[in-house]
Amino acid sequence: MVLGYTKDLRTYPMKSMLSWGVQASINSDDPGLFGYEGVTLDYIYAFGAWELNIRDLKKFSLNGIKYASITEEHKERLYKVHEPMWNDWVKAVNAGTY
């Protein structure tokens, strides 16, 4: 949206693509340039625009590790910390503190 490739995320067919088995992840796009950290805002936009549920968001998160261009060893380390970090993130979002 920021770059102008789509005017409205609701028109992007991601929900259909997910139902067809397309694997995807949500990633930041040059946060230094755009002045933010992390991907929480990206997840919030996707959640609303594509009518996702918490399972969809977790799948996006795990896919970010699975399809990353990093070593298998690094992926294993990330998988080990994913669950506690995911749980903390969900709690923070639910509490309105993130």
- Mean pLDDT for 31-59 is 85
Q: How many CB atoms lie within 10 A of CB 48?
A: 11
Give this prediction's pTM: 0.78
Exposure on the CB side of residue 39, measured as CA atoms within 13 A: 14
* Residue 29 pLDDT: 72
The stretches of 7-39 forming alpha helices (DSSP H) are 14-19, 31-34
Exposure on the CB side of residue 15, measured as CA atoms within 13 A: 11
The per-residue pLDDT for range 61-89, each reduced to its tens digit, is 999 999 999 999 999 999 999 999 999 98
User: Tokens 């995807």 correspond to what residue?
Assistant: 24
The per-residue pLDDT for range 6-29, each reduced to its tens digit, is 888 899 899 899 999 999 999 877
- CB contact at 8 A, 26 and 14: no
